[in-house]
Amino acid sequence: MTISPVMTNPSVTSADRAKQAKLVDAAQQFEATMMQELLKPFSNSQDSWGIDAQDSDAGADTMSSFGTEAMAKAIAKNGGLGIARQVIQQVTQENQRIDEKKP
């Protein structure tokens, strides 16, 4: 599932499309960061990998961190928890409200 920009006006400029694409990207990055934080406890439980705390090294920690980051990004890009969608909707509504107030 991908998040598509919300554009209902057919006279949308390319600048507006670029702004919307940036918003979608930022919202997905935000959700990925949140997902990464939620997944950290799972990657920190070294017992599940059969590695004792004293056998753990910086390389294993780094690889685990990269894996957690990749998983979080994939989850967010495919819909995640819906946080990105909510952020996009809220920001878009606020921008429309501001635009309506402009003379």
Q: How far apart are CA 32 and CA 87, in angstroms?
A: 13
As given in the structure block, the two tokens for residue 33 are 């960061």
pTM passes above 0.75 = no
Q: Where are the domains of the chain?
A: 15-47+56-101
| Per-residue model confidence (pLDDT) at position 11 | 63
Q: Tell me, what amino acid is at 15?
A: A
| Per-residue model confidence (pLDDT) at position 9 | 57
Distance of CA 46 to the CA centre of its chain: 26
Give the pLDDT confidence of 34-93 residue by residue, as tens digits. 999 988 887 766 545 555 555 557 777 788 888 888 989 898 888 888 999 999 999 999
pLDDT higher at 12 or 15: 15
